[in-house]
Structure 1
């Protein structure tokens, strides 16, 4: 996947929207290791973590996030992105968001085949993390 201008912009917007929740720590392009394979979601949401700049840095996180956000890029299909969601859920990630720039859509998956889709207007509601984000905070 090659990041694009829209993907990068939306990654920044999702990051800003999710950072308003003090109970979480949000990371961008963080490598997570699942069964020996590296994945790099656009955004990862963890329970609040203490950040210590004096400890060695981590290249691959073995602690998995609560939520992974994937943003479709022009160099990939929606199906390619969706194919990672069962892997994420089986590993223990509790929620996955699929952001589709061209349709201004966010789909919140709470299981590989269970999604709530918000398009154009309304709130993105993640019942697993108990959060609500107005769609216009992402696509404004």
Structure 2
């Protein structure tokens, strides 16, 4: 089957548009989470081919894997432990929450963090529960990961 230009457009139509704040938050997330590098793989912008669809979180926290430098993997099929999504300037919040409900949770991702830069807010979603953080520390009890919002949203 041949891929048309329209197919490619449709696939990336709701893909986040990278912006300055989005890029800065992605970097700060990866930097803040690097302290857990011995316990987890911290993987920015990696695509996943999950049981309920494809997803590309801004940052994924995964069980550690072993790199094969001779043969790379384009899409992981093992769900991340945490999928972190940053709301982009031209993206609807429902794109992120629908993705959590329709792809991540049914595929076995236990936790999704949705970051809304304009409100300096992190919402932690688990199946059937959500918690909103606007200051202090996001504490993921399943992984033990803690994220200080002051480091994420500093000027």
**2:61 matched to 1:45?**
yes
**2:46 matched to 1:30?**
yes
**2:86 matched to 1:71?**
yes
C-alpha deviation, 1:49, in angstroms: 1.8
Quote the residue 1:133 is aligned against.
147
**1:42-74: per-residue Cα shift (whole Å, max 9, x none)?**
0011112222313x1111111121110000001
C-alpha deviation, 1:100, in angstroms: 0.5
Query: Which has the higher mean CA deviation after the structures are superposed, 121-130 or 31-40?
Result: 31-40
Structure with the larger helix share: 2
Q: How does 1:105-116 map to 2 (within 5 A)?
A: 105-111=121-127, 113-116=128-131
State the superposition RMSD in angstroms: 1.4
Asked if 2 retains the 8 angstrom alpha-carbon contact of 1:110 and 1:128, the reply is no
C-alpha deviation, 1:78, in angstroms: 1.1
Structure 1 unaligned segments of length 5 or more: list them: none
Quote the residue 1:16 is aligned against.
31
SS of corresponding position for 2:31: helix
**1:61-108: per-residue Cα shift (whole Å, max 9, x none)?**
111211100000011111111111112011011111001100000111
**2:122 matched to 1:122?**
no
SS of corresponding position for 1:69: strand
TM-score, length-normalised on structure 2? 0.83
C-alpha deviation, 1:36, in angstroms: 6.8
CA distance in structure 2 between the partners assigned to 1:53 and 1:137 by the alignment: 33
CA distance in structure 1 between the partners assigned to 2:55 and 2:116 by the alignment: 19
Report which of the two structures shows the higher radius of gyration computed on alpha carbons: 2
Structure 2 unaligned segments of length 5 or more: list them: 1-15
TM-score, length-normalised on structure 1? 0.91
Query: Which has the higher mean CA deviation after the structures are superposed, 123-132 or 87-96?
Result: 123-132
